Amino acid sequence: MIYLDYSATTPMSDEALQAYQKAANNFFGNSNSLHQFGQEAEQVLYLSRKSLSASLDMQPSECYFTGSGSEANFLALISLALAYQHKGKHILTTRCEHHSVLQAIYYLQTQGFSVTYVPVDKFGLITKKALLESIQEETILATFAHANSELGTVQNLAMLGKILAMKKILFHSDCVQTYGKLKIPVEYLSSLSISAHKIYGPKGIGAAFIRSTLHWQSFLKGTTHEYGFRPGTVDVPSVVSFATAAETYLQESEADMKRLLNLRIRTIEALSMNPSVVFEGHPTQRLPFHIGMRLKGIEGQLVMLECNRKGIAISTGSACRAGQTAPPQSLLAIGRTTEEAHEFIRITFGKMTKDEDVEALTKCISEITTNYGNG
């Protein structure tokens, strides 16, 4: 079976697995306990926090471990919005955001906040004009993902961040898809979220980073773990594994991204000859390992199932939307019809992707369009 769904999750690296087992065996204490076992766990937790923070040029005190990247998004947005609501209750986002961000926005709307969905262009990019026209006097917070997990388009966070800083608006970014793979312009961000299982670490562990110069308010009162940011005993072995996965992959990421970009270019060139194929997202300002596309007149679900039958795993969008009948919102946001959005499929490469995998994929797509297409 060929796995081409690395934006959904990645397999754990050997280093991450070994680190998890070692930490689980030797540092099983509760990091909040005051006895020796607890203090040893706390020390390992701090070293991991320090390592991950250093990879982003941030401070250990600005790192808060969470149960996932989704939870990191939710808690960071809620905590900042509640802390700064005295300055205004208006938030900016787009309809291309991850479901966890939109969930946080929906919750804040129940708390009296208002939201403006900044329009995006045909590639999913936010323009300077669109952002400026969306800002209101009451705007206190904006949240735009660094990269869209479905389209693959990478936002210009520096350009957006400069505008938001000038207007004194807090800026959060979901960086789950880009951490460890692309340089994140953290100097323009108030907060950001990352996740372990996108960089060959364990599932069930993520982190939110919030500038120490900012205030935040706990979502759940009386919380003691993670400086009051999140309830529940910290999963120290997963944190250690997270830091190890990051340290390991960051050493090889640049070379791997170049290799995967070459595979992507080869795939695009091969598929471009197929009249049924329509590529989505920005052609160059995008994740180098990511292909978003449609096969005209063919349901994405059918394509995914046919690929699976032929031994190739792809997806029809974000795994957090799996099982939903609604089409990807990002496709609708860039002007696609509901029928066109339902045609969407996502192909993402990773460490184990080989040249022959690309050949098998292009052959499979060709067979599907021959058997089912009308393009």
Instruction: Give the burial class of 338: count Cβ atoms within 10 A of its Cβ; 0-12 exposed, 13-18 middle, 19 or more buried.
Output: exposed
Q: What separation, in Å, do the N-terminal and C-terminal C-alpha atoms of the chain show?
A: 28
Which H or E run includes 171?
strand 170-174
Q: Where are the alpha helices (DSSP H) in 111-147?
A: 128-134
CA dihedral 323, 327, 333, 339 (to 10 degrees): 170
* Residue whose structure tokens are 């401070």: 59
Name the catalytic one among 63, 96, 175, 320.
Answer: 320
Cα–Cα distances in Å, from 128 out to 133, 184, 185, 247, 262?
Answer: 9, 19, 17, 35, 31
Please give the order of strands across the beta sheet that includes 290-295: 277-280, 290-295, 344-348
Residue 364 is among the residues annotated as catalytic for this protein: no
Cα–Cα distances in Å, from 84 out to 35, 170, 215, 336?
Answer: 38, 9, 8, 36
Counting Cα atoms < 13 Å in the Cβ hemisphere of 224 gives 5
Which tokens in the block code for residue 81?
């919005």
Cα-only R_g, the chain: 21
Catalytic residues: 320
